[in-house]
Structure 1
Amino acid sequence: MLLTKQQTRIYRYLETYLRRHGRPPSYQEIREHFNFRSLNSVAKHLKQLERKGYLESPWGNQKRAFRLLPLRTTAAAVPFLGRVAAGAPLEAVEIPETMEVPESLLSGGNNFALQVRGDSMVDEGIRDGDVLIIRKQEYADNGQTVVAQIEGEATIKKFYQRHDQVELRPANQELEPLAVAADKVEIIGVVIGLMRHYKR
């Protein structure tokens, strides 16, 4: 599973500490190194690493009792630009964060990630909460799944254009297509990959 930039920094710190000292750092040492406000913050970050499969705590609640699992290196950091609707258009909010993405999901050019909100693309296998990998480009072929912007708001739909009209089609039989004049639609990029967290 993907790591945020902050989670990667924590993992690298733990890795370096273990190599130098032969044991994990204490919660207090982690808190002081990253200037976290509380030990509870440390616990939350470590739990996220454990949930994503990069850390293991086989000895219960002992605070130094964890071991690191290998960090997958065939990944690249791409900008995470927020959340975008797979239902009605929703503003995609840019936030200062990156995500590690398997290189197999990337393609040439600029790539970025967005998290899906809504279920209008569920018949294409795109579910609420999925992270989409987008290749940034200003054009699309008919039938491609795109992130399109309409009057400042972004949405995920299948793209079809005929003359001066664009139809943005959901992949959900309960929803209607969105018909828009071509000059009102800005293509932000084309969907090239998807990542999903499975809840345990």
Structure 2
Amino acid sequence: MMMLTRRQREVYEFIRAYVAREGVAPSYDEIRRHFGFRSLNSVQKHLRRLAEKGVIQSPWRNQKRALALVDWERSGTVELPLLGPVAAGRPLEVVEQPGTVEVPQAMLHHGEHYALEVEGQSMVDDGILDGDLLIVKRQETADDGQTVVALVDGEATVKRFYRTGAGVELRPANAALSPIVVTEGEFSIRGVVVGLIRNYGASHYTS
């Protein structure tokens, strides 16, 4: 299983034990009360991270018990093209590399996907760190707040996407950095981030 933080693993193990005991997933409020979180927002944050790492499904639906655990061994893996690297900081040219990366099938949505390696620290507040692999769904549009891979002046960057009255802001998740402000004609979206893999030592890559 992909590496989880201590708290993420605790939440995951609680959900797994609850499902084994009760036959259904715990509600958001049951998770909140078990861990002493002050609000449901804290629960949602942890569940989003678990979903990004491919160990649970359906964390954002409104049903009370919509969580589902992912069986990685049964779900299988898929090889994606590895493009490298994308800047979580200043824009950086994306160059194709002769390699692939294996990811769990459960992490993918419908459509075409690829992987990018992150360089920089501008998305750290969203849990995207230098050296992480991003799983990206190829598409040319995005909704406000989605994390996108955007091409600006021929160079790629990963940022949160927001429309404004003057055009578009590509916002970092780092209070020390400023957003990139562009008009609709000055950039293009190359995909939306749908997952993240963190490498703690062993290489993910094949050639």
Q: What TM-score do the two structures reach when normalised by structure 2?
A: 0.60
Q: Is the 8 A contact 1:105 1:192 kept in 2?
A: yes
Q: Is the 8 A contact 1:161 1:182 kept in 2?
A: no
* Secondary structure, counterpart of 1:104 in structure 2: helix
Q: For each residue in 1:98-120, what CA deviation from the matched residue of structure 2 results, as whole angstroms up to 9, or x when unmatched?
A: 11111111111000000000000
For 1:82 and 1:190, how far apart are their aligned partners in 2? 16
Shift of 1:164: 5.1
Specify the alignment match of 2:151 in structure 1: 149
Q: 5 Å matches for 1:95-110?
A: 95-110=97-112
Is residue 194 of structure 1 aligned with residue 191 of structure 2?
no
Could you tell me which amino acid in structure 2 is paired with residue 152 of structure 1? G
Q: For each residue in 1:34-86, what CA deviation from the matched residue of structure 2 results, as whole angstroms up to 9, or x when unmatched?
A: xxxxxxxxxxxxxxxxxxxxxxxxxxxxxxxxxxxxxx671001110110000
* Secondary structure, counterpart of 1:96 in structure 2: strand
Could you tell me which amino acid in structure 2 is paired with residue 126 of structure 1? I
Is residue 184 of structure 1 aligned with residue 186 of structure 2?
yes
* Secondary structure, counterpart of 2:96 in structure 1: coil
Out of 168, 171, 174, the residue aligned to residue 172 of structure 1 is: 174
Could you tell me which amino acid in structure 1 is paired with residue 155 of structure 2? E
Is residue 158 of structure 1 aligned with residue 160 of structure 2?
yes
Is residue 94 of structure 1 aligned with residue 96 of structure 2?
yes
Specify the alignment match of 1:118 in structure 2: 120
Q: Is the 8 A contact 1:110 1:136 kept in 2?
A: yes
Could you tell me which amino acid in structure 2 is paired with residue 166 of structure 1? V
For 1:80 and 1:164, how far apart are their aligned partners in 2? 34
CA 120–77 in structure 1, closer or farther in 2 if over 3 Å, else same: same
Could you tell me which amino acid in structure 1 is paired with residue 111 of structure 2? G
Shift of 1:199: 4.4
Shift of 1:198: 1.8
Specify the alignment match of 1:138 in structure 2: 140
For 1:123 and 1:104, how far apart are their aligned partners in 2? 25
Could you tell me which amino acid in structure 2 is paired with residue 156 of structure 1? V
Specify the alignment match of 2:26 in structure 1: none
For 2:181 and 2:192, how far apart are their aligned partners in 1? 19
Give the gaps of 5 or more residues in structure 1. Answer: 3-71
Could you tell me which amino acid in structure 1 is paired with residue 112 of structure 2? N
Q: For each residue in 1:98-156, what CA deviation from the matched residue of structure 2 results, as whole angstroms up to 9, or x when unmatched?
A: 11111111111000000000000000000000000000000000000000001110000
Q: What TM-score do the two structures reach when normalised by structure 1?
A: 0.62
The percent of aligned pairs where both chains have the same amino acid is 53
Q: Is the 8 A contact 1:164 1:183 kept in 2?
A: no
Runs of 4+ in structure 1 over 6 Å off? none
Give the gaps of 5 or more residues in structure 2. Answer: 3-72, 203-207
For 1:195 and 1:132, how far apart are their aligned partners in 2? 6
For 2:110 and 2:165, how far apart are their aligned partners in 1? 29
- Aligned alpha-carbon RMSD (Å): 2.0
